[in-house]
Every structure is written in C-alpha cells, then in structure tokens.
C-alpha cells in the first residue's frame, strides 16, 4: 500500500519508524516547497511577502526550509521570535500579532527590528508607546483590524467577527491610526486582518480586503501617508479528507486586485496551507481489543501527541505503511492515555491492522507537535525532516529526565510573604 501516503515514500517512513521509533513526526521539505511555490506563483503579479505562521509548526528544520524560500514569519510570542531569529529570518519580514503581548515581549520585538508589530487594542497601544519611548527606539507597527467578516469553519477557528477578542473594531481604526501618527516613535506601516482558519471559500477574504481598503482611504484622507502594506492574514484551508481547499489562484484573485489598486504591498500569513499535508505522524499498533461490539486499535500515539481529533473532532486519514490486500473493518483508533476522549479516529473504516505495524496519520504537519503536551508524563515525540531520499532528526525525542527538569522532590527554598 503506501500509495495513500501522498508525497512520502512508505519504505522511507518505515525505515524512520524502525530507526527513530514511534510516535514520530515526519515532515517533507519538498512538499513544503511545493506549497510555498504554488502560492508565490499565484501572487507573482504583486509585491508580496508570504509570512509563514510559525504557530502551525515552529520546528527549526521546517523554518530553515521556509527561510531558504524567502518567507517572512508571522509570530505571536517571544518564543516564536527567538525561533525565527535562530533560523535567520529577516526581521523586516516578521509580523508580530496577538492580543496579549507583554511589555517585555514588545520591547524585545522593537529591539529585534520586527517589521510589523500589530496592535490589537488601544490599551496595548498605550504600552507599546511607553516601551518605544523608554527604549528611545522607533517601533514599526501595523493595526490588526477586526473587519467583522464571517467565515464558515469550526467555531474555535473564527476570528474576524465583531464579538471576537482579536483586532481593533472597524469603526475605531481611523482614530487609532491618528493616535499612532501623532507619536514620533511609532511608524504605521500597515493594516492587517486574520479572519479565521481552515477557510474553504475565498469570498470572505475579498470582503475583508475591501473593508481594509475603505480604511486605507479614510486613513490617507486624514493625512497619514505612511501605509506600505495590507496583511490579509492566514487561514487558507487544506484538504484533510474530503473538504474543498481553495486554490492559491482563487485566493490571489480575491485579494490582489484591491491591494494593487491601493498601490500597497501584500502580506499573507499562511500556516496550515504550507505545512499540514507536508507532515505525517508515525505511530505503531500496540494491541487489538474488542469491547461491547467495538473494535479497538490501540496505538502508541495519543491526544498528548496529536490533539486535533479530540479537540476539534478533526478527521485525519490513517494509512498503514505495510502493503497488501486486507479486509476492511470499522475500528476506533485510540491512544494509551487515560481519557475516553483520547482517540485518533472513531468508527473509521480501515484495513485490518495488527500489533507491531506502523500507521501514518496524515495532515499532521500543522498544529501537531506544537499542540502536543506531556500529559500522563509522556515525553513528546521527535521531529524528522525528510529532504529527497535523506532525513535527519530535527528535534530529538524528549526524555523522562526532560519531564522532571526544574522540579524537586524536596523543597530547597521556602519563601514567606
């Protein structure tokens, strides 16, 4: 079989499972490149930068591939800033969003010369202004706008509607821009939106971009001439199972004309689109069991390794690496964790698999390892990068010692208020 493990050589995956062990995440550099290049081609008609959303997969090996392609980065914390600087991304191409950036994080971003620190509230703007003045250093900023545009997606993945916690409400943006322009140390370079994730239909991108343009016109009319770019966010959906995934071309057609008309550059922040289907999670079958009429396949990866099925009820294809015709059955693929919600698939049709064989869980390159935990004291899986016919371990498997680092069984220092 293996034909289903799109873009991966099943023999190589089996070799990785045997050498590195399971569970393990495996990422294909070539599949990431193909996605990036398809989007870059679609956007070729406009000055643009694809700012990879690091939260989707922050592995340094993955960042290395994207940096070599010329990507910028979308970050949401100093931890992500540190990673992209380690991977030598150009600070000018870094966009820093997030509703809860601390003063310390803002200071570090200003010092690093981050291209766009996106303010998400007037209260944050107070902090940003104070930090830039204290540091006596200019801050290059954007406004993250809440464009009040609805999308079709999972409830947890909608971010651009009026009541969301993200961005500055549409009707307050011009006033905020005016405030920024009045601050000598702040430079307003752009407007940004991010309307949500796993978006199948590009129409909301078009609507949102038009709304950003209305703001550009109003901001320019108030005498502010510093705007350079519109950031239309991430969120491009992918095909995990039978979903519709928008083509890069459709995305480009939805956003480019309006941004071009305003004479601005275009930024976008895809995460999932670039890496989701470039990653698989390898897991080994431990046991088989039946209970109450249900067939169980118990594997060595659980919700601590990959939480999307439990958290979003997400469907991820599961494919055995071993070839050969076998009967199909309906099974629950579950992990070793002591929670009923610990599953990779429920009531899934799968060819009959047995203990010892390796399964590939597909579409796990985005929001896989980065959302892993050590629940039940399970060390986190290693991450492997495949490039052509070679691979390397880009992150070692966590050890049991790692799990107790910083803890002590006997108190060493007691404090009193």
Contacting residues toward ligand LLP, per CB under 6 A = 53, 55-56, 74, 97, 157, 194, 197-198, 233-236, 269-273, 308, 366-367
Pick the catalytic residue from 338, 400, 409, 417: 338
Nearer to ligand LLP, 155 or 409 (CB): 155
Nearer to ligand LLP, 67 or 308 (CB): 308
d(CA 173, CA 118): 12
Nearer to ligand LLP, 2 or 74 (CB): 74
- Nearest-approach distance from CB 197 to ligand LLP, in angstroms: 3
Nearest CA-CA partner of 171 in 190, 146, 149, 189? 146
d(CA 99, CA 5): 38
- Nearest-approach distance from CB 98 to ligand LLP, in angstroms: 8
Asked if 51 is an active-site residue, the reply is no
Residue 392 structure tokens: 């390397």
Nearer to ligand LLP, 137 or 373 (CB): 373
d(CA 196, CA 151): 7
| SS3 per-residue string spanning 348-399 | EEEECCCCCCEEEEECCCCCCHHHCCCCCCCCCCCEEEEECCEEEEEECCCC
Nearer to ligand LLP, 143 or 331 (CB): 143
- Nearest-approach distance from CB 327 to ligand LLP, in angstroms: 33
CA distances from 267 to 34, 74, 117, 168, 193 (A): 19, 10, 13, 18, 10
SS3 191: strand
**Cα dihedral sign, 343-345-346-350:** negative
- Nearest-approach distance from CB 13 to ligand LLP, in angstroms: 22
Residue 235 structure tokens: 């969120």
Beta strands in 164-317 (DSSP E): 168-169, 186-192, 229-231, 265-268, 279-291, 294-299
- Nearest-approach distance from CB 245 to ligand LLP, in angstroms: 12
SS3 9: coil
In the beta sheet, which residues pair with residue 188? 141
SS3 227: coil
Nearest CA-CA partner of 23 in 360, 390, 366? 360
- Nearest-approach distance from CB 269 to ligand LLP, in angstroms: 4
For residues 7 and 31, the answer to whether their CB atoms sit within 8 Å is yes
Catalytic residue set: 338
């Amino acid at each position: 079989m293996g034909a289903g493990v799109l873009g991966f050589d099943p023999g190589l995956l089996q070799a990785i499972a045997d050498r590195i062990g399971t569970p393990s995440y495996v990422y294909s550099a070539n599949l990431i490149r193909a996605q990036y290049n398809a989007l870059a081609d679609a956007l070729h008609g406009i000055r643009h930068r694809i700012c990879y959303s690091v939260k989707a997969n922050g592995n340094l090996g993955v960042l290395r591939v994207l940096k070599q392609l010329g990507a910028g980065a979308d970050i949401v914390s100093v931890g992500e800033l540190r990673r992209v600087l380690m991977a030598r991304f150009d600070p000018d191409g870094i966009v820093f969003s997030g509703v809860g950036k601390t003063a310390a994080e803002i200071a570090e971003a200003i010092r690093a010369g981050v291209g766009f620190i996106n303010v998400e509230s007037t209260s944050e703007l107070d902090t940003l202004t104070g930090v830039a003045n204290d540091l006596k250093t200019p801050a290059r900023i954007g406004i993250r706008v809440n464009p009040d545009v609805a999308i079709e997606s999972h409830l947890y993945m909608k971010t651009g509607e009026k009541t969301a916690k993200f961005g500055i409400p549409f009707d307050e943006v011009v006033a905020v821009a005016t405030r920024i322009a009045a601050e000598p140390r702040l430079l307003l370079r752009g407007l940004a939106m991010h309307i949500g994730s796993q978006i199948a239909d590009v129409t909301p991108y078009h609507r949102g971009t038009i709304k950003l343009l209305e703001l550009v016109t109003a901001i320019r009319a108030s005498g502010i001439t510093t705007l350079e770019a519109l950031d239309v966010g991430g969120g491009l959906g992918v095909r995990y199972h039978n979903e519709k995934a928008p083509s890069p071309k459709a995305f480009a057609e939805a956003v480019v004309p309006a941004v071009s008309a305003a004479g601005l550059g275009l930024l976008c922040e895809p995460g999932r689109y670039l890496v989701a289907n470039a990653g698989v999670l390898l897991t080994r079958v431990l046991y088989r069991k039946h209970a109450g009429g249900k067939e169980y396949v118990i594997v060595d990866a659980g919700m601590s390794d990959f939480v999307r099925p439990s958290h979003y009820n997400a469907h991820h294809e599961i494919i055995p690496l071993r070839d050969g015709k076998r009967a199909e059955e309906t099974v629950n693929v579950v992990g070793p964790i002591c929670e009923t919600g610990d599953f990779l698939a429920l009531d899934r049709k799968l060819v009959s698999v047995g203990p010892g064989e390796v399964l590939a869980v597909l579409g796990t390159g985005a929001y896989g390892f980065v959302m892993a935990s050590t629940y039940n004291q399970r060390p986190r899986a290693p991450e492997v990068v495949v490039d052509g016919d070679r691979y390397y371990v880009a992150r070692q498997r966590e050890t049991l010692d790692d799990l107790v680092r910083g803890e002590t069984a006997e108190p060493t220092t007691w404090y009193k208020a």
